[in-house]
Every structure is written in structure tokens, then in C-alpha cells.
Amino acid sequence: MREVFFDEDTIFAPITPNVHSAVTYIRVSGSNAIDIVSKIFETKKNLKTLRSHSLVYGKIVNDGEDVDDVLVSLMRGPNSYTGEDVVEIGCHGNPIIVGKVMELLKKHGARMARPGEFTKRSVLNGKMDLVQAEAINSLIMSNNMSSLKIARRIFDGKLSEKITNLKERLLDLLSYLEVLVDHPEEDLANRDWNYIESSIKACISDVTDMIEKSKKSSFFTEGVKICIAGKTNVGKSSLMNAILGEDRAIISDVPGTTRDVVKEIMSINGVPVSIFDTAGIRESKNVIESEGIKRTIDSIKSSDVVILVFDISSKITKNDVLVIKNIREYAGDKMIFLALNKIDLISPGIVVKKERKIKNLLSDYNLNILETFKVSAKTNLNISELKNSIIGKVIGNVNEEIENILLSNSRHKELMSDVLNALEEALESSENRMSEEFIAIGIRDALSYIGEMIGEVTTEDLMDRIFSNFCVGK
């Protein structure tokens, strides 16, 4: 049962941007929506007697004066987005006209909707659960195709189906345990321990599977962070431009041109990526350059992937060694790719010798390289292969991962972790042959977390916090 307060106000808001445009739509929802709109809408048909899902032309009027020609859509509850009577007014997209229509709606008893209030009412009226409602906001806010696909699957009920199935199985188990609680005279030895433990283990397995398969979700929502590191003048900025497919970073033959971290955002195979072009690492007494090198180290620490760049056409110097030492110290267990740049400047035979020498140096300093690419940022040689390999190593098969991910929301991840902990406690109680009351505590806790996740058990504060992140009109 939801512990929420729900008012019966009729609400309105623009559901398209209120800017100069061809059309703007204003949604009105509530028990008095049809009556209120009827007071300002003139048409040949009676809006109050129209059947649901009708579209009718007419005029918005105020004291006998035409405000605008409009198209009005009528959707009667419960067969509407909110589950209430809904009227949508399509007027010309002039903010002055839109403001006048909203002023008239307010005059006749409606009020402006709060952020996310239409969707909140949809949840409260059982049109969707809280998980699906949050997916709507993700659909609107997604900035890449992959996160959009994940949000769409969750909105379509893929996660809700899993959660509902888990909930039903836990309720069955809890019912069995409560029967045992009500009949304490039964010998504990006669309990069906196999049923109890196999049921809990199956639920633990399903929850663990969901959590494990969703570990890469942040790469689709927040992006893969790639740091390009190396000494000065090895072609880091040129490599960044080649990866981006356009000139975004300033390049020069003068060592130390890049003094700060330059960040660019792109998509590789549908995965959002943030690329950081960093200041070259070298010994420097210049205050500004030293600060740039410090930021390079910070970028190495915070990235998911490091591309270590060597100029294969030039000699190895002490600054190359300094780069290797810094990456070994600060990269931790991050994926490191080796890019041997400028191979277009030397013969294939020299490339082989230089590659061997560089790899021996990396081995001397125990720096593990995931994969090596001989590239030319100037001619784009092997740049696509480098990009594809990074996504392949970090993500795997992009389409398969998208199909697997169901927990992309931090609130959902936290609650499913709580469900897992509760089930593990219940299993421990069963394995220790404790009485059914102790086992039932863990099952009830798991069900409570599930209820909070889908919105069956929640508070007004939680609902307000979730829907405050929505836009007005949704």
C-alpha cells in the first residue's frame, strides 16, 4: 500500500517546448479537465459528450473574443496517460497565445502541474509502476542511442516483469513460512528445508544475474573515459583528432603545445565516449606546464582506458620512461592500449625493431599492455581498428550488453543489492536451521525493497524526489 498523499486538483502544463514554433500542446488532466476546457472551448460538438480518443477542431475564447484556433484531443480515464480524464489542446506555438490559454485554464479552476506530476499520477493510478516511470525520464534525457535502447526496454516492462516474477515467488515462500509460524507445534525436522533453500537460492541467482549483467550500464549512460597519454610531441592531439574524425585539438611541432586536458565527447559503435587529450609528461620547471602534467595524472587516474602513445619514428628518451612510470603508478588495473604513432615516417623493417625495443622497455617496468596498434594519426592508418578494439574490450558485444542490462538507474541498483543481502541473510538462517520467523524476516525485507523499487511501498518524500527530476509537462 502506498503511503502517499494525492490531491484531486485538475492540472495543466505545456507538453511541448513553449517557444515560437508551429504548434504547442497543453495537457489538462484531472476529474474536472473536460468541464474546465469546455468553458473556454467553442466547437460544433459538445466536448462533454464526445467519446474517448476523439479529436475536434474549435476555438479558445475569452469573453466572446477568439484567442486561437485549436485542435483538442479528448481521452477519458482510465484509458489515458494519467488514468484520469485528459484533454490536450494544440494551439499555435506563440508563447503569448500559450500563456493566454494557460491563464484561462487557471481562471476556471486548474493549476499548473509540478515537474513530473502527470507521470506521478500515472503511477498512483496504476497505469505503470515506478520503474517504468523512471524509464520515461531516461528516455527523454538519453543522449545516445545505446542508453535510449536500454531505457526503452525498461519502459516496455522488461525489468518490471523480472521483478514481478521474483516478488511472486518470494510471496509464495513467505506464505509457506507463515503457515509454519502459525503452527509451531510442527517439528522443525519435518520442515521442507529443500523447498525453502532451493527457493531462496533460485531468487539469489536471478538477482545476482541482474546485478552482474548490469555492471557495464554506466558505460552507456555516463560513457567510456579514454585518456591519451605520452611525452610531448608524440602526436597525442593528432591521434585525438583522428579518433574524432575532425580537427578539435590544436596540433603543432612545438613540444608542449597542449598545456591542459582537452575533453571531447563522441560515440563509438553506439557507445558514448569521453576522450581526454593530455599535456605531455616530461620534467619541467615551468609552473603552468607542471600544472598541466598534474592534470594529466588526474586524468589517468579517473579514466577507464589509457592510450599510451609513442612516436615510433624518434628515439626513446628519459621522458618516455617517465611516462611509463607514471602510468604504472597511477593507472592501476585500467585497460592500457599501446599506440605506436607516425609509422608512415619510417620503413616497415625499422617499425618492427622499434616496436620490439619499446615493448622490452614496458616489460622492464612491468607495465602490461592489453593490445598494440601501429598507427598513423596523419593518414588514419589503423585508427578504426584501435577504436573498435577499445569498445570491444571494455563493453564486449554492444547489442548483447544492451539486451542484458536491466539496472541502469542507481536507485534500482542499490535496492537490488539490498534485496540480495536480505535473501542471503534468509538463506543463512535456513542453513543454520533457525526457526521460520528468522527466515521470514529476510524474505519480508527483500519484498519491502522490491515494493520500494516498483512504487508499491513508498513515501511522499521519495516520490517528490524522483519526479522533481522530470520536466514540467511530463
pLDDT tens digits, residue range 205-262? Answer: 999 999 999 999 999 988 999 999 999 889 999 999 999 986 654 444 444 444 467 8
CATH value at residue 205:
1.20.120.430
Domain residue limits at 262? 220-401
Question: Does 464 fall in a domain?
Answer: no
Question: Three-state DSSP class for 43?
Answer: coil
Q: pLDDT at position 110, please?
A: 97
The pLDDT tens digits for 161-209 are 999 999 999 999 999 998 887 766 555 556 789 999 999 999 999 999 9
Question: Does 142 fall in a domain?
Answer: yes
Do 105 and 224 belong together in one domain?
A: no
Question: Does 351 fall in a domain?
Answer: yes
CATH value at residue 45:
3.30.1360.120
Q: pLDDT at position 8, please?
A: 82
Do 23 and 49 belong together in one domain?
A: yes
Q: pLDDT at position 376, please?
A: 96
Last residue of a domain, one of 383, 401, 419: 401
Do 83 and 148 belong together in one domain?
A: no
Question: Does 470 fall in a domain?
Answer: no
pTM of the shown model: 0.80
Do 226 and 365 belong together in one domain?
A: yes
Give helix 130-141 / helix 145-155 axis angle, nearest 10°: 160
Residues 6+ positions from 171 with CB-CB distance below 8 Å = 447
What is the β-pairing status of strands 86-93 and 111-112?
unpaired
Do 370 and 415 belong together in one domain?
A: no
Do 243 and 187 belong together in one domain?
A: no
Is residue 229 within 8 Å of residue 341, measured between CB atoms?
no
N- to C-terminal Cα separation, the chain? 24
- Between 361 and 294, where is the model more confident? 361
Q: pLDDT at position 295, please?
A: 85
Last residue of a domain, one of 66, 95, 122: 122
Do 277 and 174 belong together in one domain?
A: no
Do 190 and 282 belong together in one domain?
A: no
In single-letter form, the type of residue at position 182 comes to: D
CATH value at residue 304:
3.40.50.300
Do 192 and 329 belong together in one domain?
A: no
Is residue 392 within 8 Å of residue 330, measured between CB atoms?
no
Distance CA 236, CA 229 (A): 7
Q: pLDDT at position 395, please?
A: 94
Given a cut of 70, is residue 87 above it in pLDDT? Answer: yes
pLDDT > 90 fraction of the chain, expressed in percent and rounded: 77
Do 323 and 354 belong together in one domain?
A: yes
Structural domain tally of the chain?
3
Distance CA 188, CA 463 (A): 43
Helix and strand numbers (H, E) in the chain are: 17, 13
Query: Chain-wide mean pLDDT for the chain?
Result: 89
Question: Does 462 fall in a domain?
Answer: no
Q: Which residue has the cell 511472486?
A: 168
Do 327 and 443 belong together in one domain?
A: no
Do 246 and 387 belong together in one domain?
A: yes
Q: Which of 5-9, 93-97, 460-464 has the lowest mean pLDDT?
A: 5-9
Q: Which residues pair with 305 in a beta bridge?
A: 226, 335
Is residue 29 within 8 Å of residue 82, measured between CB atoms?
yes
Question: Does 461 fall in a domain?
Answer: no
Q: Which of 5-9, 43-47, 176-180, 272-276 has the lowest mean pLDDT?
A: 5-9
